[in-house]
Amino acid sequence: MNLENTLISTLGMEFVKIEKGIVVATMPVDERTRQPLGYLHGGASVALAETVASFGALQLIDQEKEICFGLEINANHIKAKREGVVTATATIVHQGKSTMVWDIRITDEQEQLISTSRCTMAVVPKR
């Protein structure tokens, strides 16, 4: 899958682990991901969360016959961050035929919780 010229590459996300039921990716806290006051933008955290959930869902569908899309996501931003790297870990909570639910924890280099999200993925037939 070509990630060039996507939000993933624009925000500097890098995958560390992609397996069935778990995905781990990092994202820098820099000029691409900060809001004007200098802190990690909540929208960047949500983009990272939905990205790891989406890649997790891709590992669990029949990619020849199905495609998946984010259906719903919520986030609680727990701690502010100005620099460094955050790591998102997505784990499957529910895997159904037409939906999946993923839990995503975003932590800093000291394993402190920065943000937590829950993402529901829709699984639909390819047309």
Enumerate domains of the chain plus CATH numbers.
7-125 (3.10.129.10)
**Nearest one of 65, 66, 52 to 107, comparing CA atoms:** 52
pLDDT at 94: 98
Which residue ranges in the chain fall short of pLDDT 50? none
Exposed / middle / buried, residue 18 (Cβ in 10 Å: 0-12, 13-18, 19+) = middle
pLDDT at 1: 81
Token pair for residue 64? 């020849």
Cβ–Cβ < 8 Å for 88, 104:
yes
Dihedral Cα 59, 5, 26, 33, nearest 10 deg: -140
Three-class SS string for 29-51?
ECCCCECCCCCECHHHHHHHHHH
pLDDT at 44: 98
Exactly one of 50, 64, 66, 109 is catalytic; name it: 50
Token pair for residue 84? 């460094």
105 strand-pairing partners: 89, 116
Phi, psi values for residue 5, rounded to 5°: 60, 35
pLDDT, tens digit (0-9, with 9 covering 90-100), for 51-87: 999 999 999 999 999 999 999 999 999 999 999 999 9
Query: Is 50 annotated in the active site?
Result: yes
